[in-house]
Amino acid sequence: MTEKNTNTDETAHLRRRAEKIVRGKALQSAEDLETLSPEEARRMLHKLRVHQIEWEMQNEELRRAQTELDAVRARYFELYDIAPVGYCTLSAKEVILEANCTAATLLGVARNALTKQPMTRYIVTEDLAGYYRHRKLLLETGEPQTCELRIRRLDGTQFWAQLQATVAQDTEDTPVSFVTLHDISERRQIEEALRNATTELVRSNEELEQFVYVASHDLLEPLRAVSGYISLLEEHLHDQLDAEALHLLNGAIDGAKRMQLLITDLLALSHVGSQGKAFVTIDIGAVLEQVKRSLCVSIQESGVRITHDPLPRLSADAGQLVELFQNLINNAIKFRGDDTPAVHIGVQRQQDQWCFAVHDNGIGIEPQYYQRIFLIFQRLHTRTQYPGTGIGLAICKKIVERHGGTMWIDSSPGDGSTFFFTIPDKGRATI
Ligand code: ADP
């Protein structure tokens, strides 16, 4: 039965009831009327007119409210239809009870052809299991659920969609769900491209690391031979050569030594990713002791004072943390200012990580070089001013990143530098 028929029946039914009441009252009123004085009759007539006008006004009000309601309803349906997402109402048995125009366009079907269709008809077979899991969860928990799956249009083309569903009861207390459909193909494509690019990046990075390792390793052998032969030459011919020739020969020896140093550092850099050890709980205090033993000569020569906050135990690659602290303390000594060098190692617990701050009282760095110094071969001074290869901080950064942390610097010329780095550690904070 249509909505219009129902309304007509109800109106006829109301009319019959009203007539019956009026007929009953009319009989009574006829008897009453005979006893009314003309004055009373006039008053009653006046009352009746007031009532009539009142009803007419109420009627007018109702008609206006109805028109407004119709306009709101029409606007709602218009918005519902042109909404940028598809809307569907589904029965508990996956049947589409209602859908907006956007849903019909997304599914590539005429809107009226959608109703009474099972939703599963439009879902790609491989994604059906996921869809059923999502529906089961929705109906069992009553909580809103989201899933991503592929939709197959009527013409066979497919797209990635995000379904967001909520559940409610209809007038007969059976569950219905309201589902929004978003076309997320573009986002999925970007994600896929990003995934591929990351995989490719990891692969080429590994390849590059391998290349650096092999190249450095293979270069080291002939270089040792060259350097050895030049040294022998210098020994044999020392007395026969003039000062100029000796100077040239020493230049060649220096060059070979420097190249050896560069290659060894390059090898160390390539080892961070490829030769790292598993993380175990280590004591940073013990790490620092080991660093002090390795640097004992320069510590003694420079008279550096090394102080520290209470140091924690944390999960890390012990060898790499030794390398990290050693590079930083070594730099603090190397790039010292006029005062006796002093290094302080501060540490703070921040949620799931430790934040270290290695502070020195050295020459400091201009802010415009804060990023550059972490790049390989980037140095701010000549080799005659300060020896080095420009790889130390690149190694430090790589070690920190291998541990899942970040590294940065705060410094100003003449005021010393503070190198910060974080090491994530999910374990209990222990110092
Ligand atoms: P290297 O020490 O071999 O030059 P690094 O990668 O360790 O290479 O450092 C890069 C550059 O950063 C250094 O050449 C220096 O200019 C600057 N630098 C590093 N540590 C400090 C420091 N503690 N104080 C001032 N400058 C520093």
> Is the minimum distance from the CB of 337 to ligand 1 under 6 angstroms?
no
Nearest Cα residue to atom 13 of ligand 1: 379
Q: Are residues 287 and 417 in the same domain?
A: yes
Pairing verdict, β 175-183 and 145-152: unpaired
Q: Report the atom number in ligand 1 closest to the C-alpha of 416.
A: 24
- 391 and 267 Cβ atoms separated by less than 8 Å: no
Ligand 1 neighbour 145 (Cβ under 6 A): no
382 alpha carbon to ligand 1 midpoint, in Å? 11
Structure tokens at 426: 């999910």
pLDDT at residue number 15? 67
Query: Which residue range(s) make up the domain with 265?
Result: 191-274
CATH number at residue 232: 1.10.287
Name the H helices within 83-184: 101-107, 111-114, 128-141
The confidence score (pLDDT) of residue 183 equals: 95
Cα 393 to averaged position of ligand 1 atoms, centre (Å): 7
Domain end (from 274, 307, 330): 274
Do 373 and 392 meet the contact criterion of CB atoms below 8 Å apart? Answer: no
Q: Of 258, 263, 373, which is best to mutate to test ligand 1, by the most ligand atoms within 8 angstroms of its C-beta?
A: 373
pLDDT of residue 103: 93
Q: What confidence score (pLDDT) does residue 299 get?
A: 96
Here the tokens at position 418 are: 């503070």
The number of domains in the chain is 4
**From the CA of 373, how far away is ligand 1's center (Å)?**
7
Q: Residue 349 Cα, ligand 1 centroid: separation in angstroms?
A: 27
Residues with Cβ within 8 Å of residue 330, at least 6 apart in sequence:
295, 298, 392
Give the ligand 1 atom nearest the CA of 362: 24
Q: Are residues 418 and 286 in the same domain?
A: yes
**CATH number for the domain that contains residue 286:** 3.30.565.10
CA pair distance 390, 396, nearest whole angstrom: 11
The gap from C-alpha 212 to its chain's centroid, in whole angstroms, comes to: 32
Task: Supply angle C-alpha 390, 392, 396, rounded to 5.
Answer: 140
- CA–CA separation, 394 and 377 (whole Å): 8
324 and 381 within one domain: yes
Do 261 and 210 fall within a single domain? Answer: yes
Give dist(CA 178, CA 108) in Å, integer: 20
Are residue 358 and residue 290 in the same domain, yes or no?
Answer: yes
> Domain check: are 322 and 381 in the same one?
yes
* Residue ranges in the chain whose pLDDT is less than 50: 1-4
The pLDDT value given to residue 387: 84
The pTM of the full predicted model, rounded to 2 decimals, is: 0.62
Output the pLDDT for position 25: 62
Please indicate, yes or no, if residue 431 is contained in any of the structural domains.
Answer: no
Looking up tokens 């160390």, which residue turns up? 268
Tell how far the Cα of 425 is from the centroid of ligand 1, in angstroms. Answer: 28
CATH for 177: 3.30.450.20
| Whether the Cβ atoms of residue 150 and residue 186 lie closer than 8 Å to each other | no
